Amino acid sequence: MGFGSRCGRYSIDCLSSPIPLRMTSALPPDPHRMHVVFIEPCFPANQKEFVRALHHAGATITGIGERPKDALDDDLRRWMLHYEQVPTVVDAGHLARTVEWISRRKHVDRLEATIEAHVMAAAQVREALGIEGTSVRTAWLCRDKPAMKEVLREGGVATASSIGGDEVEPLVDFAHRVGYPLIVKPRSAAGASGTDRVDSDDELRGALARAGVGQGGSVAVEEFVEGHEGFYDTLSIGGRIAHDFVSHYYPNVLEGMRARWISPQIVTTNRIDSGEHYGEVRALGQRVNDLLGIGTSATHMEWFFGPKGLRFSEIGCRPPGVRTWDLYSAANDFDLYFEWACAVVHGRVSTAPSRNYSAGLIALRPDRDGTITHCEGLDEVYRRYGRWVLDARIPPEGTPTQGVEDGFMANAWLRLRHPDYDELRSMLDAIGQITQLRAR
């Protein structure tokens, strides 16, 4: 290549219905056939969609990943010119040597990474080898939360007071100046991973000790912002937003990732173009893009809206997690992965989102830790809402449960779409009440 078990209706990996996409025909190859090196093409599973999209957009693709070549399926082998296995994709030096080796055989036009942990190493390699794309400054500002917020505050963006540090007492002093509650999180974490709310000096010191502060660990400590939590995702080309989407968390992430009884939801709205409800969010997103130097990239920006108005939370220069682009594609009758590939390869998008549907994900948690036995209420869910169900994952009997804090897709989930946002929210709430994932 290149250079040198049976399952039932609700079982794992069985989709009740595939997510419908208005598939766009492959564009004719660019006369110069852009060569894109893509990091980690086969894990997690939806990484394959980015490779597929690049192929259909007319690119020549080389993959670099930690998995052996026999981990590639037939499609990936067909879509890529070459695949190079490396010990790690997060070591910039090793990655640079590999990309340089590839470029001696075929000039590299773009180096793309879509996973948070890979973004910085990719940016360092681009800078070292003179490859176009997200800069080290932008990648660093999108990873280091205190630095990110300092730049944005200086640029007039409303955000929480924050500090970063690796010593205990300056962080405690910050807490006394700002007041409790506060949020403690790793400086470069994604989502709610490793995040704690603290309400006292004792709780703060405990969180800092768990994070290793004073012993080599470093954290961000932030003012707690009261309000509803949502996110604004974009696909930008040359710094200008070409596609954008607004989604909501129910409840807020920190609460949803801590309580077993909650069936948390992510819901994307199709009302973003209606009236002025989301105009402030859109203006905020463009301002953040400008200040952080976002060029041609996907972004994922978290925000809060509460008593103090709209507040920026944080941003990543990569797509959102938990396969949210699948929801955007289903909600808008198009293929967002292909739109991203057209932006990378051709500097433009191919079609506008339809905004025909809202779409949502609901996570189902097991009633205890152990192994899955069954899920109650699914027949009733499909009787009521089957026509709106996009797909579902219900682990088969005997599957070990995953922790509540492991995220929206850790155990069981359903994804739906509906033309009316409020009706979709009611359906998702009902599913949370009807179903129960049982374990023993």
pLDDT value of position 17: 39
Q: Hey, how many other C-beta atoms are within 10 angstroms of the C-beta on 356?
A: 12
Q: What is the mean pLDDT of residues 49-78?
A: 96
**What is the architecture of the domain spanning 228-439?**
2-Layer Sandwich (3.30)
Q: pLDDT tens, 240-292?
A: 999 999 999 999 998 888 888 999 999 999 999 986 679 999 999 999 999 99
pLDDT band at 20 (very low <50, low <70, confident <90, very high): very low
Structure token digits, residue 314: 């944080």
Rounded-to-integer distance, Cα 366 and Cα 369, Å: 7
Please, which residues have CB within 8 angstroms of residue 169's CB and are 6 or more apart in sequence? none
Residue spans of the domains in the chain: they are 35-133, 161-223, 228-439
Instruction: Decide if pLDDT at 390 tops 90.
Output: yes
CATH code for residues 161-223: 3.30.1490.20
Residue carrying structure tokens 């549907």: 357
- CB contact at 8 A, 19 and 326: yes
Rounded-to-integer distance, Cα 364 and Cα 439, Å: 12
CA dihedral angle for residue 304, residue 156, residue 115, residue 327, rounded to 10 degrees: 40
Q: Provide the whole-model pTM.
A: 0.88
pLDDT band at 365 (very low <50, low <70, confident <90, very high): very high
Rounded-to-integer distance, Cα 7 and Cα 201, Å: 51
Instruction: Decide if pLDDT at 12 tops 50.
Output: no
Rounded-to-integer distance, Cα 55 and Cα 183, Å: 42
Rounded-to-integer distance, Cα 299 and Cα 234, Å: 5
Give 274 or 81, the one with higher predicted confidence: 81
Rounded-to-integer distance, Cα 67 and Cα 41, Å: 9
Q: What is the mean pLDDT of the chain?
A: 90
Q: What is the mean pLDDT of residues 229-241?
A: 97
pLDDT value of position 267: 98
Instruction: Decide if pLDDT at 30 tops 80.
Output: no
Q: pLDDT tens, 138-189?
A: 999 999 888 999 999 999 999 988 888 889 999 999 999 989 999 898 876 5
Give 256 or 194, the one with higher predicted confidence: 256
Q: Which option is the CATH number for 35-133: 3.40.50.300, 3.20.20.70, 3.40.50.20, 3.40.50.620?
A: 3.40.50.20
Instruction: Decide if pLDDT at 357 tops 70.
Output: yes
